[in-house]
Each structure stands twice: as structure tokens, then as C-alpha cells.
């Protein structure tokens, strides 16, 4: 049995999709299916279950996944540590972030990195913050970039930057004429927010509670892009990071207004697994995001 087969199995469980696992490993869907059948035949156990939405591991598959993931990560680490002896920066760097950060916060750094190291493949994924923490700890990710980072066991936290939170609304909204909006003016407003388990939602709720504001939630979503589309049709107002609103402000479909009371900001952080040895490619990527911090 090849380690590549174990990696295909792990990718299938991580993504829940035969097509995505196939694309990540540059094989066909039928090749993925064949490899899974080979594993199930060899061990005499059904390892995955298929539903309409995604693939799930069986109880036996969960055990197989846990051990396989460790083998794959150790094999990957072996290659990374041996590569450190060479002067060639190549390979794959696995990065995950949330949409509002990945789309608007480090595109310049990504462009600069890709230009400097053309032999490196950046594998960028968008996930929820808790998933990013888990996958950094498990070794599935090299680097995570998240909002409102918190210190956790096995996690090394590097400050990245902070951005201002602004209120967005349509140009026709009564609040759109203000140059700065008092947070109290949002009391009772129809509000489009992030889902409750998203750190930005929790941070905004703390702001509301501090100032005694109660909004009328009309939608709670997991994606800043969808939030902007809902606000654009006049459903309500929202609070988003200022860089995320820039395209719509430029096209004049939305207005972004700072807060009068104080400067509400969102902290961004880079998370790494504590004590991990990084490949030269990952080290250079971390240096690009945080030039004054050593990766290891």
C-alpha cells in the first residue's frame, strides 16, 4: 500500500467529495473510488458512507483516518525537513483563511510571494475559524490566517494586522447621509450579520452590548460576500471590515460609514502549530506575511 493512497483517503474525508479529492491529487474520480475500494477490500471493513451532500467515514473509517493522517503528516514532514538542506524553495504551502481576510487582506503578499518563488504551489482554502485551528494543529495546514485570534494549546499566534469596522448600507438608506454614525443609531435597525459561531459576530455583539444596542437580525450568514449582496438590495445594514466594502463603495452600490463613538477594529492573526518544523517554502511564506518574525 502506498502513502499516496492514504493521502487520497485523508483528502476524501477532509473534503467530503470524490471530485475535490481527485482534483487535489491530480487523478480521476474513478481512480479515487478504486483506491477506496482497494482499502476496504484489504481490511475487510467499509470505510466511507456516501450521502447526497458529502462522504462521511464509518466508525472503522474514523480509526483508519486518524492513523493515516498521522502517517501522511509524518511523511510530509520528513520531506520538508530534508528539503531544508537544499537552497531550492519549492513544493506546496497549505494555507487557510476566512473569506473576508483572503479576498481583501493579503492579496498583495500572495502576489509578491508567487512572483518571488514560482516553483511553490500555494494551496489556499476558505474555512471557518474553528476548522482552521483544528487543521493547523493536526498538520493538515501549514498556516492559518484568522480574525480575532485567541491563544490555544499547541498554537503559536503571530499578530498580522488590524482593520477598521464600518457600517454599510445602500446610498438610499437614511443613515447614508452621515459622515460618521453613532453606534446608538443602529438600535432597532434591520441588521444583516455573520453567523453566531463566527468570531466577527461575537465581537460585534460585544460592541452592541457595551453600548446598549439591540438590532433586528434579518439574516445571519457565513460569508461577507453574501452579506454585502443582501445589504445591496435594501434588506438592512451591516457591519463589515472596511477593506471588504471597498469594491462596492467604489462602484457606489454601497456606502461605508465609520463609527462616531470610537474606532472599532478587527484584529487579524497568523496561527501556526507550536514546535512544528516548516519547509523552506512555508518559512518564506510566513516571512512574507510577517517579515520581522521567524517561522521556527
Supply the CATH number for residue 183's domain: 3.40.190.10
What band does 73 get if pLDDT is binned at 50, 70 and 90? confident
Domain count, the chain: 2
> What integer is the mean pLDDT of 178-194?
95
- The whole-number pLDDT of residue 84 equals 65
Residue 216 included in any domain: yes
In this structure, the answer to whether residues 79 and 167 fall within a common structural domain is no
133 against 263, higher pLDDT: 133
Residue 184 included in any domain: yes
The CATH number given to whatever domain includes residue 62 is 1.10.10.10
Q: From 83, 114, 139, give the residue that closes a domain.
A: 83
Residue 49 included in any domain: yes
> Percentage of residues in the chain with pLDDT exceeding 90?
60
Residue 103 included in any domain: no
Nearest partner of 241 among 249, 232, 253, 252, judged by Cα = 249
Residue 253 included in any domain: yes
Phi, psi (rounded to 5 degrees) for 27: -130, 175
Residue 44 has pLDDT above 70, yes or no: yes
- The whole-number pLDDT of residue 294 equals 61
What band does 239 get if pLDDT is binned at 50, 70 and 90? very high
54 against 171, higher pLDDT: 171
Q: From 65, 83, 101, give the residue that closes a domain.
A: 83
Range of the domain at 63: 1-83
- The whole-number pLDDT of residue 159 equals 92
For Cα atoms 217, 175, 257, give the angle at the middle one, nearest 5 degrees.
90
Nearest partner of 225 among 243, 212, 211, judged by Cα = 243
The pTM for the full model equals 0.72
Distance between CA 39 and CA 41 in Å, rounded?
5
DSSP-based three-state secondary structure for 274? coil
Residue 145 included in any domain: no
What band does 183 get if pLDDT is binned at 50, 70 and 90? very high
Residue 281 included in any domain: no
Residue 61 included in any domain: yes
DSSP-based three-state secondary structure for 193? strand
Four-residue CA torsion sign, 270, 24, 9, 117: negative
- The whole-number pLDDT of residue 266 equals 92
Question: Using only C-alpha atoms, what is the Rg of the chain?
Answer: 22
Amino acid at each position: 500500500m502506498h502513502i499516496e493512497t492514504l493521502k487520497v483517503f485523508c483528502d476524501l474525508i477532509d473534503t467530503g467529495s470524490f471530485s475535490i479529492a481527485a482534483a487535489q491529487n491530480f487523478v480521476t474520480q474513478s481512480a479515487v473510488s478504486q483506491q477506496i475500494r482497494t482499502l476496504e477490500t484489504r481490511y475487510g471493513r467499509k470505510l466511507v458512507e456516501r450521502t447526497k451532500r458529502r462522504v462521511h467515514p464509518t466508525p472503522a473509517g474514523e480509526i483508519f483516518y486518524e492513523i493515516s493522517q498521522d502517517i501522511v503528516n509524518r511523511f510530509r514532514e520528513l520531506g520538508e525537513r530534508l528539503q531544508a538542506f537544499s537552497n531550492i524553495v519549492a513544493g506546496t504551502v497549505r494555507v487557510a483563511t476566512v473569506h473576508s481576510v483572503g479576498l481583501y487582506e493579503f492579496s498583495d503578499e500572495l502576489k509578491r510571494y508567487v512572483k518571488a518563488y514560482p516553483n511553490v504551489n500555494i494551496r489556499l482554502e476558505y474555512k471557518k475559524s474553528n476548522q482552521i485551528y483544528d487543521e493547523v494543529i493536526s498538520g493538515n495546514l501549514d498556516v492559518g490566517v484568522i480574525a480575532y485570534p485567541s491563544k490555544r494549546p499547541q498554537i503559536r499566534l503571530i499578530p498580522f494586522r488590524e482593520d477598521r469596522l464600518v457600517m454599510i448600507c445602500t446610498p438610499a438608506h437614511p443613515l447614508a447621509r452621515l459622515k460618521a454614525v453613532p453606534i446608538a443609531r443602529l438600535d432597532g435597525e434591520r441588521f444583516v450579520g455573520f453567523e453566531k459561531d463566527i468570531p466577527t459576530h461575537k465581537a460585534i455583539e460585544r460592541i452592541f452590548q457595551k453600548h446598549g444596542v439591540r438590532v433586528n437580525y434579518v439574516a445571519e450568514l457565513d460569508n461577507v460576500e453574501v452579506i454585502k449582496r443582501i445589504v445591496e438590495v435594501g434588506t438592512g445594514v451591516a457591519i463589515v471590515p472596511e477593506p471588504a466594502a471597498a469594491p462596492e463603495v467604489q462602484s457606489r452600490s454601497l456606502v461605508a460609514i465609520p463609527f462616531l463613538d470610537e474606532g472599532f477594529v478587527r484584529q487579524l492573526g497568523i496561527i501556526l502549530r507550536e514546535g512544528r518544523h516548516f519547509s523552506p517554502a512555508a518559512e518564506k511564506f510566513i516571512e512574507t506575511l510577517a517579515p520581522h518574525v521567524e517561522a521556527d
